[in-house]
Amino acid sequence: MASTRSAAPMLLAMVFALSLQPASAQTAAQPPAPTSAGPVDPALMQDLVVANRVLTDLNVIDGFGHVSMRHPTDPNRYLMGRSVAPALVTADDIMEYDLDSNPVDAKGRASFLERFIHSEIYKARPDVKAVVHTHSPGIIPFSVSSTPLRPVFHLGAFLFPDVPVFEIRDSAGMSNMLVSNAQLGKALASTLGDRSVALMRGHGSVVVAGTIPMAVFRAHYSNVNAQLQSQALALGGSVSYLLGEESQKTLAVIDQIHGRAWDLWKRAALEKMTPK
């Protein structure tokens, strides 16, 4: 009993000494939060919010999936909604991240587990300004079969010559199929390469573009193309796919006219968002 009583003052002294350490010493193991790249043009922020609604309206995403944009003034930051169903995203839900997917100011908001899809693509592709991750039902069969997704109609020309498939088993073995860390995000970005779309085996797809409207366009029409290709294959016989020259000429036109579809989709989404 005497030895226990004599040890108690020493233990109290150690605890007291630790409490006197500077806060910086106690939290040295925690990296500081990244700094913000600054405010974003409200019109661009609105487009990011609206993109979530449009993709939901088009049945490209539902309660799952997400869309992001690179920060317009700092290529080392990107913006994406908090972990919530896309149709519920508002401007207050948009979070800023660095390219390691650390939030600038979480404010208690939860982040998507698969945000590394976005950050690693932004690292690998300086040309990419917007990323969409979908679970579109039309493309899933092409992610699990030996038949490649290829362009069958003019609005799918960006799929030429075909679409690569990310096999997560090659990087993670038996997993929960989620790209939930930087290593898997980097592997997915490598599979995507310089393409506009990559499929994720048994999971969905990732779509990239230089603007939010084009990313939404490609996400929608990759799903439409997949549905049309499945129908054509079901008819039997051979399928006539777009050739390289046709695709290039069509892409030049799409660059000029895709805003027409975006304007239509955006107007419909804003009408739904406007209180009656």
**Residues forming the active site:** 114
- Name the β-bridge partners of 165: 199
CA-CA distances (angstroms) from residue 127 to 20, 154, 195? 50, 24, 11
Read off the tokens for 224: 């439409």
Interior/surface letters 168-207, b for 16+ CB within 10 angstroms, e for the rest: beebbeeeeebbbeeebbbbbbebbeebbbbbbbebbbbb
Backbone angles phi, psi at 6, to 5 degrees: -70, -30
What are the Cα distances from residue 161, in Å, to 119, 155, 248?
26, 14, 11
